[in-house]
Structure formats: C-alpha cells, structure tokens
Amino acid sequence: MKMFGRTLLTLSLLGAMATGVQANDKVLRVYNWSDYIAPDTVKKFEDETGIQVTYDVFDSNETLEARLLAGKSGYDLVVPSNSFLAKQVKAGVYQTLDKSKLPNWKNLNPVLLKNASASDPDNAHAFPYMWGSIGIGFNPEKVKEVLGANAPTNSWDLLFKPQNAEKLKACGISFLDSPTEMIPAALHYLGYPVNDQDKAHIAEAEALFMKIRPSVSYFHSSKYISDLANGNICVAVGYSGDVLQAKARAQEAGGKVKIDYSIPKEGAGSFYDMVAIPRDAANVENAYLFMNFLMRPDVIADITNNIGYSNANAAATPLVDEAIRSDPGSYPSQEVMATLYAIPDMPIGVQRVMTRGWTKVKLGK
C-alpha cells in the first residue's frame, strides 16, 4: 500500500511537472527586454510580496522565440512583441489568462487593448506593457558635420542612400540585429508592402542592405544606447525609448553629446510588447501577482518615467512626466501615428528566409 502510495505521488509529481502545474514557492522568473524597467521596480515587488524575482533580459524577439520554442524556458513571465505573439499563441506557447486574478486590468487603455487584440483575440493571453516605434537615433552635430545642414535626418534616405551611408561611416552607423524588423523597413523604403512574402522582393531588400553594408559599424539591438550617448556612433536605427534613454544619458553626462530621434517621413515600424505566461511556467500565481503589479498606475508610470517608452495604461497617463508626454518620440502626434506600420507577423517559413538572408547581410557576403 505504502509503495503504491509513493508511486502515485511520484506519478502525480511527474504529471504536475509536465503540465507546469506546480506549487508556487516564493520565487518568480521574469524574462524581459533589456533597459525596459525602472531600477527599483523589481525590488518594490519583492519588498511588498516577499517573492524573490530572477530577472533576465534579452534584446530581440528572435532570441526570446528560440528560448520559448525549445520548450521549458524556465520563465514564468515573458515579453514578446505582438508580431511574434500571434504565432506563439497558435503554437500553444502561452496560458490563457484568468482575468479575475488581474483586478488592475481595468486601468489598461481600451484603444491599445483593441489594437493589440489583432495579434491575440480578446487579449486572451497577454496585456500590452509598452509600445514604440523603430526609427533613427542620431547625433545632429556629427551628422551635420558629415552631410551638411540639409542632411535628410527625417528620411530613410539618410541610411539607405549609399552615398549618405558612405559618408556617415566616418562617425559610425548601427542597425538593429533583427531581420523581422529591419527587412520590412527596407521593403517599405523600396515601395513594397511591409508583409511582402515575395522572395524576390525580400532579396531586393537584402541587396539594399548589402550595398550599404561596408558603411555599417555593427548590427546589435542594445549596444547602440551607450554608443550613441558616448559619441561612439552617430546614427543608429533603434527603438524609440532606447534612443530617448541615450539622449538622457548624454545629457546626464554633461550634455556634450546631443542625441535626437526621428520617425522618418516615409513611415516606420511600430510594436506593442506584451506580457504573457508560458504554458509550462512553474510559478503561475506569482506571475499573476507581478502582472497585476505592472498594471498599477504608479508602478507603470514610474517605469515609463525611467525608460522613455509609452505604456498602455490609461490610468497612469497623469503620472507620466510632462517632458515624456510631450516628447514626439514617445508620444507621436496623430499625423505621425498615421504613418506608422505594424511590424508584420510573418509565417515561420518566410521568417527563416529572412533570417538566412540577414546572416549574409551581417557577414557582408
């Protein structure tokens, strides 16, 4: 009997491990984008709840997706962009949210929830954390020195015209290391739909990058923040809030380096970053507590005030610093918003084609 009981226990433990239904210890494992939280957010949560948080970071959807699809990521909360969320939801990567455990859901902006529901019907698996655009961070003085006063900093011509890139090479250019975000930017510039799946058009977009490749210092999705701020590079294609962080760091360092952010007039990509619980999360109740904490107006406003990204919490808006609310990089005008396109959700096969092409672009051959 005893033996039988132990076997049953072992079996049910194994079953629990397989389904991810486990006891919630006082721990939580979070995987978020780098430079995407206030310095004391995690500590505040730990102090209030007694839950110990392991907080790791990534800087591209591609990296997060590789972890998730390999299975058993070990994380209880992750933050994919909406363009990746849709596919991951279909692949069964996430738990359906029990919104009765999220009383602060009421604070979220209904318009942004509706927009985000295009990737996740009824917002069943995730809530929008922050959103932003993918534009051009630049050092106006250095760019002027190299290209003159009429440098087209308000256009993708600044980088996609090889004669401009060749000159800017002297002060340093970087691009995000993300084929799913950078190839649509080139497709858009070439006049193709951003979700174009025609392999010949994708090859043209890669060829455009190949032409300017010799002028690019590097492809990386987070290093440009400090490099812009230090004056090590003068132009970076990057995420809106990250460029604003570079600008703030440069100001804090004495203001010798100036940084601006531009949403090119042809339009730029936009994203929503979404908080979700992986299916095999071990600490689900704690994940709900952290989600609900992130939906608190004071908590999320404090994060925006530190990272420069616009959050998706309507109740938090009055608590966001006026300087951020009036910054056109964080909160673009309606006219500029109308020029933004959503980063497309590409079928996995097309994503692979883009990744292969991108590897060649990075190698320069």
Residues in contact with ligand N2P by CB under 6 A are 33-36, 81, 132, 222, 239, 242, 271, 273
Q: Which is nearer to ligand N2P, 209 or 239 (CB)?
A: 239
Cβ closer to ligand N2P: 239 or 261?
Answer: 239
CB of 64 to ligand N2P, least distance (A): 10
Which tokens hold the place of 336? 């500029």
Question: What is the 8-class DSSP label of residue 278?
Answer: B
If 0-12 CB within 10 Å is exposed, 13-18 middle and 19+ buried, where does residue 288 land? buried
- Min dist CB 57 to ligand N2P, Å, is 8
**Listed residue (348, 322, 340, 191) closest to 272, CA to CA:** 340
Shortest Cβ distance from residue 242 to ligand N2P (Å)? 5
Nearer to ligand N2P, 174 or 215 (CB): 174
Q: How far is the CB of 269 from ligand N2P (least distance, A)?
A: 10
State which residue, 164 or 221, has the beta carbon closest to ligand N2P.
221
What's the min distance (Å) between Cβ of 20 and ligand N2P?
A: 26
In contact, 43 and 290? CB cutoff 8 Å: no
Question: Of the two residues 113 and 282, which places its CB atom closer to ligand N2P in the complex?
Answer: 113
**263 CB neighbour count, 10 Å cutoff:** 23
Start-end of H helices in 267-321: 284-294, 297-307
CA distance from start to end of the chain:
68
- Least Å distance between CB 320 and ligand N2P? 17
Helix spans in the chain (H): 2-19, 41-49, 61-69, 82-90, 110-116, 140-147, 157-160, 162-168, 179-189, 199-212, 224-230, 240-252, 284-294, 297-307, 322-325, 334-337, 348-363
In this complex, which beta carbon is closest to ligand N2P, that of residue 215 or of residue 270? Answer: 270
The closest residue (CB) to ligand N2P is 33
- State the nearest-atom distance from the C-beta of 222 to ligand N2P, in Å: 6
Q: 197 near 350, Cβ under 8 Å?
A: yes
Considering beta carbons, is residue 33 or 209 the nearer one to ligand N2P? 33
- What tokens appear for 310 in the block? 């616009």
Task: Output the CA–CA distances (angstroms, integers) from residue 160 to 168, 185, 206, 317, 340, in the order listed.
Answer: 11, 10, 11, 36, 18
